[in-house]
Amino acid sequence: MSASTGMIGVMGFWGTLVVHRSESLLWELLPEVRQLDDARLCHDSGTSRWQVTRVFTTLDGLPVDFIASVRDATAAPVLVADVLDSDAACLTGLGVHTPTWQAWLQLDKALGHLVAPPSPFDADGTYLGDHWRDPDYEQEVSAVRARLLQQIPGQAGTVTERAMSWAKEAGLQPATLGEVTKAFDAQGPFAEDLFFGVLQQLGLAVTEVAAPDAAPTIVQVLHDLLGRRLAGIQTTPHRPVRGERLTFPDMPDLRLAFDGGHAVTACGCHGEFTLLPAPVDGDTVTTAGTTPPPAGSEACECVGRHLTDAATLRRGYLPDLHGILFRFASERLLIAAVDSRWVITTQTTTPEELSSEYALRMNAWIATRRQQGLRPPAGCPTTPPPHPLTTPQQ
């Protein structure tokens, strides 16, 4: 596994690493570039605002003026690495005042991707041997190598000197000429690691952005709430974290507080439904910045009741979840994220109504208290009463 990229080595990375300096993330700077929709912030430098973004498209799949657009949007130098299967990378640096420079990391490995090697078998299928060489292939490789080196912008000075000039314009303090040259000439199994080695010698120290801890599943969250009494429901503004992409940025979250200091936050900002534990003060939901939810009067009918079961909801036959149907003894509460709005109602009674009104289908009821083998709190029914809303056939 690559130490710098956290990537499994059996499959290399094809794509672009983009280094830019800004408070804004790359896809925030260029929202019109659709190839950035699945880009990921992988490294940053903290207070100096330098970021490294992994784009899952090679440079030839990005707009022709992509590098210049990043430079213009940030008013700062930009560096990109076009990575070929983690074997090699072509670096392109562009400053505000310094001209474009390019350099290859492990060019010989790149040639194996750019020029298809010949088959080591003759027309009859006979293996030609470990030491067989095709002179036409070797001649083509040499020609491609010469062409690639010729295409490198021909500013005065070596590649190392041009890169160091770029770094100085960027406000960095590069290492000595010999140390930077050694970084460009280094060899290794991962071109990404070599790229980060070059960055370090150019004076840019970045650290890997830690992957978030695995969040509990919705079913796990609901299991912890079964048997607890609903204490309140409020809406609260969504607080995005760095790097988070929101499909509906103006959509608020829902916070449901349960007794015993438990609360959960429902979110639909990403175009699908999530439910995660949320902090509370004592037995009540934190009310700062919150307001009553849509259809709050209906939701209030379930406040004070114990949660006896729940089922997740999906859109049609798609796997993404979009809400939950709660059972509070004889009462039911539907909470669903439909497009950019919350649907909160106690009126839905049949699977057919769920499907026709909201295009929602139920998954299985999670569990009854008896199936969970948990002792219910005082006053909570041990067995939920029969309910007309049953799970549709899968």
Q: In this predicted model, what pLDDT tens digit does every residue of 21-77 receive, in sequence order?
A: 999 999 989 989 999 988 999 888 877 789 999 999 999 999 999 999 999 999 999
Task: Give the best-scoring range by mean pLDDT among 62-66, 278-282, 291-295, 330-334.
Answer: 62-66
Residue of 244 and 328 predicted with greater confidence: 328
Report the chain's mean pLDDT, rounded to a whole number.
Answer: 80
The least confident of 79-93, 231-245, 379-393 is: 379-393
Where do runs of H (alpha helix) occur along the chain? 26-29, 66-74, 107-114, 135-151, 159-169, 177-185, 191-201, 218-225, 296-300, 351-358, 369-372
Has this prediction a pTM greater than 0.85?
Answer: no
pLDDT at residue 270, rounded to an integer = 85
Q: What is the DSSP letter of 329?
A: T
- Sign of CA pseudo-dihedral 317, 319, 322, 325: positive
Highest mean pLDDT: which range of 110-114, 134-138, 197-201, 235-239: 197-201
Query: Is residue 306 over pLDDT 70?
Result: yes
Residue indicated by tokens 């379930």:
302
One-letter identity of residue 357: E
| Sheet with 253-258: strands ordered across | 230-236, 253-258, 262-267, 274-277
- Report residue 14 as tokens: 């094809």
CB-side neighbour CA atoms (13 Å) of 23:
0
Q: With pLDDT > 90 as the criterion, what percentage of the chain qualifies?
A: 38
φ/ψ of 28, rounded to 5, equals -75, -30
Give tens-digit pLDDT for 320-340: 888 999 999 888 899 999 888
Whether pLDDT at 1 is above 90: no
The top-scoring range by mean pLDDT among 70-74, 138-142, 291-295, 387-391 is 70-74
Residue 359's pLDDT is 81
